[in-house]
Chains A and B, each alone.
Chain A
């Protein structure tokens, strides 16, 4: 990597690191693991910088995959995070907003990490089924089934007042029976 390429890489990291960490956090549910995932993914990106055409897409995919890997590591099984990993910054939430955030956390925690990753990529990053499948290196049918089942779980946990999207009709028809 020459100095110009490294400067471009630095600019990319400056611009994207925070949003990538948010993506990883929504996937794995832990800020420490999320940052570890971003560190791993961006180190890989550094070594392939010249060969990657769309670094945003590549980094997003690598971060989500790394976040899934982080959740599957032994310490996740050994020590479920209890808020000690990295203290969250105090925010001026009303009591209602705090309750709502905890409720959403609890709902997302009900989902297996791969299913959560699908929902995050589709509804937070706005990716299509095809793009999500490419990012996670899995079949489109897997994305569709995870979407249906994930949304169903969230509806059950959050109740009817959450304005959740309806999965595409073909997804529901095909997978709802097995959800």
Chain B
């Protein structure tokens, strides 16, 4: 007859190996200490400005985020590889977002006019009005951008700096010694005057740690984080439908002498993307040749669920999300009403696998540019747990979001 302690000991039998090594814990502590010091320094700098009586005039429009302006502040690049310092702002009705994609060489933000949206077909007879952006701001770490890429451009004054404008395409300017920022516009989206105002309003923000809207426990051996954010670096402009992205590469990418951002096309990459379910299912339908997506294997507590089914090669076996009866009031505090995980499924021979979140709200996609066994991608997806992509407060810093060896 077990006593209470024996009961509790029995409960943790089958303990798995630790994911983190002692070095990981030390690195996590150092990272936390560095962030605290950076936050303290930023706060102290703000205090000094206030004490000195420096006028801090908001030059940008509130409603998105008001950025204190000080023309003498250089734009600083964060010391930690994936931290970011750019803060979203609005100027003359043009919104610059917080960084939506970050690499160790640059941070990128979307630029849109406040009223720019597009209507997308949800695939069920209804439509979704989503924000759309036609331009992108890229802020490079010093020494990364090669200004020769814009050497033929027209000279333009940006504050005290001299930038280069390539007609109807982009404006590049140095915001610090050998440190460049670039606005790239879709044809006709931003005028030179628009770009200059956006450039002049760009200001320093406090360094913030990079975060991801998920946590993951597994990546195949040899991959390292290359870019991450809310939007993939291969689709930064356009409709705002993605809710998370990370790209991992087997070889370190070279961030020097760039004439533009990297997209991972030339590297052995593993990429994770998160979409709302309605958009994800539309993509599945296209991917699988226009065949309708039907429930089959389904959630693991459905009557049709076959626990022996593996990665499907048969489109009729894609497990479209079909919520079990009785969970329409999801989320609920009743644990017994929680839906089970839906198992991943794969596109045949494409190194491309998917998994719905258990509540059916999102589709997570894992792909590789070079062949990788589906079993590896399935393990990645099974170990990936999504937070609320629309609430950055729920996201995890990289130390918690990624498996130890990747960080």
Residues of A within 8 A of B (CB): 1, 6, 9-10, 13-14, 17-18, 21-22, 25-26, 31-32, 35-36, 38-40, 42-47, 73-75, 77-82, 84-91, 93, 97, 100-101, 104-105, 108-109, 119-120, 123-124, 126, 158, 161-165
Contacts and interface: CB of A to CB of B under 8 A. Distances in A.
Given A9-B26, A31-B15, A46-B32, 16 more contacts: A13-B26, A17-B20, A22-B12, A26-B8, A35-B20, A43-B32, A45-B29, A46-B25, A74-B387, A75-B385, A77-B338, A88-B14, A89-B16, A104-B7, A104-B8, A165-B4
A46 B28 contact: yes
Most central of A26, A78, A85 by chain B CB within 10 Å: A78
B338 A40 contact: no
A85 B388 CA distance: 18
B335 A109 contact: yes
Interface stretch (B252-260, B262-270, B281-289, B353-361): B353-361
Interface in B313-365: 331, 335, 338-341, 357-359, 361
Interface in B1-24: 1-5, 7-20, 22, 24
A73 B401 CA distance: 13
Contacts of A17: 18, 20, 22, 25
B385 to A, nearest CB: 4
Contacts of B382: 84
Contact of A124 (B5, B29, B300, B339): B5
Interface residues of B, number: 54
Most central of A1, A6, A13, A158 by chain B CB within 10 Å: A13
A65 to B, nearest CB: 15
The 7 closest A-B pairs by CB, nearest first: A46-B29, A80-B338, A88-B14, A43-B28, A123-B4, A84-B382, A79-B358
B30 interface: yes
B187 interface: no
A162 B28 contact: no
B75 interface: no
A31 B335 CA distance: 18
Nearest to A78: B359
Nearest to A47: B33
Contacts of A164: 3-4, 7
Contacts of A75: 214-215, 385-387
